[in-house]
Structure 1
């Protein structure tokens, strides 16, 4: 289910110069914010939770997920180079699964790790805040990667759609409309963070059992449908 050659090509595409600049810029911004907040505010558990929840989980993780998820396959479909990969003796579900693993790995490295570092800078992991948001970033990375990989297989405007979902649906509507919070990867991930802290610093609109089920369902269904779309794509690149 994993092809090293496909993985190597995907890593090379994702970590090219332009995407790498964005991938490094967002974590660097988070750490700079954490350093500045710690210098001017000192160690404060609630402030740490606000920074990690407001920037890391609400903005950085989904944006990196968009870059990694759509970038793992979208550009190859857009420029037609996917036909060369499809012509190889590699099963198409294997291609999708391999690209998903790469997208998840990239998203985790560039989002969960900086979240953990920023959390320690902010409050030294007081009240388990750094660990809680790192766990949330890890599970969100999986769901976002699967969701945005699917978008990359079904639309030439995957990046735009992904940005609308991440910045408009989750960040804007999710803060204003209760129903939108329920259909939010961010809220599902926050349910795990809430379980880790367990003291009211972190709260989610979704219960933990529901969050776990929804995270699993979205990941599995998105991965399956991306594989289905690739299976129905002809070598000529036409559905």
Structure 2
């Protein structure tokens, strides 16, 4: 299923100059905030949880997911270069699977790694807060990558829609509006974080079993549907 050639082309597209610059900005900002907070407030578990939950999980991870997920396929569809891949003897399901793996890898590296480092800066992983939020970032990276990869296959405005979703639904409604929290990838990921550590510091409106099921269903369904959309995408001259 995994195709090295497709992966190489996808990495090149996702990590192009402009996208790579954007990918580095958010992690750098998180680390800068963490250093500043630690300097002014010292070690404080609640503040560490607030920074990691309020910025890393609520904003940074979904935004990086938008960049990596949509960037892995949307530009190729928009400029027509996807025709190059579709004309080769490569299964379209393999193309989607490989692009998903690349999107997940990029999202994890640029979100989970800085989350872990920020957690250690903030409170030295007291109450397993750094590990808990890192796990949340890892699982959220998978779901976001699948969702935004799908968005890249169905809309030419994938980035705009993705940003609206990431900043509106996940960063705002998914954090502040009680009813919306149960339908938020952020809250599903936090359910795993809550189970790992930070008792009383990390909270989710979704139970762990339900969160695992929803994360799995959304990831599988989005990947499957993206494959279906690519499968029916016709090349010029096809009947």
TM-score > 0.5, shorter chain as reference = yes
- In 1, Cα distance between the equivalents of 2:53 and 2:237? 41
Within 5 A, what are the aligned runs for 1:56-95? 56-95=56-95
Question: 1: distance between equivalents of 2:91 and 2:107?
Answer: 25
CA distance in 2, matches of 1:125, 1:132: 9
Determine helix, strand or coil for the equivalent of 1:203: coil
How many residue pairs get matched?
239
Deviations 1:203-223 (A, max 9, x none): 001000000000000000000
Equivalence for 1:168: 168
| Structure-2 change in CA distance of 1:70 and 1:117 (3 Å) | same
Do structure 1's residue 213 and structure 2's residue 213 form an aligned pair?
yes
- Normalised by the length of structure 1, the TM-score is 0.98
Evaluate the alpha carbon distance shift between residue 237 and residue 179 of structure 1 in structure 2; reply closer, same or farther with a 3 A threshold: farther
Instruction: Report the counterpart of residue 190 of structure 1 in structure 2.
Output: 190
Contact 2:128 2:198 in 1 (8 A): no
Distance (Å, rounded) in 2 between the aligned partners of 1:56 and 1:103: 18
Name the counterpart of 1:37: 37
RMSD: 1.3
SS in 2 for 1:236: coil
1:55 aligns with 2:70: no
Segments of 5+ residues of structure 1 without an aligned counterpart are: none
Structure 2 unmatched ranges of 5 or more: none
After superposition, the C-alpha distances for 1:139-162 in whole angstroms (9 at most, x for unaligned) are 000000000000000000111111
Distance (Å, rounded) in 1 between the aligned partners of 2:153 and 2:130: 34
Contact 2:52 2:133 (8 Å CA) reproduced = yes
Superposed structure 1 runs of 4+ greater than 2 Å apart: 174-177, 236-239
Q: Matched residue of 1:2: which SS?
A: coil
2:200 paired residue number: 200
Q: Does 1:222 align with 2:186?
A: no
> In the alignment, which residue of structure 2 is the partner of 1:25?
25
The equivalent of 1:110 in structure 2 is: 110
Kindly indicate whether the alpha-carbon contact (under 8 Å) linking 1:80 and 1:237 is maintained by their aligned counterparts in 2.
no
Please name the residue that 2:14 is paired with: 14
C-alpha displacement of 1:133:
0.1
Q: Distance in 1 between matches of 2:199 and 2:35?
A: 25
TM (norm. structure 2) is: 0.98
Partners of 1:49 and 1:144 in 2: CA distance: 21
Shift of 1:173: 1.9
Query: What CA distance in whole angstroms lies between the structure 2 residues aligned with 1:236 and 1:69?
Result: 26
Q: How many Å separate the matches in 1 of 2:36 and 2:176?
A: 29
Alignment of 1:155 with 2:155, yes or no, is yes
Alignment partner of 1:206: what SS? coil
- Local SS of the residue matching 2:196: helix
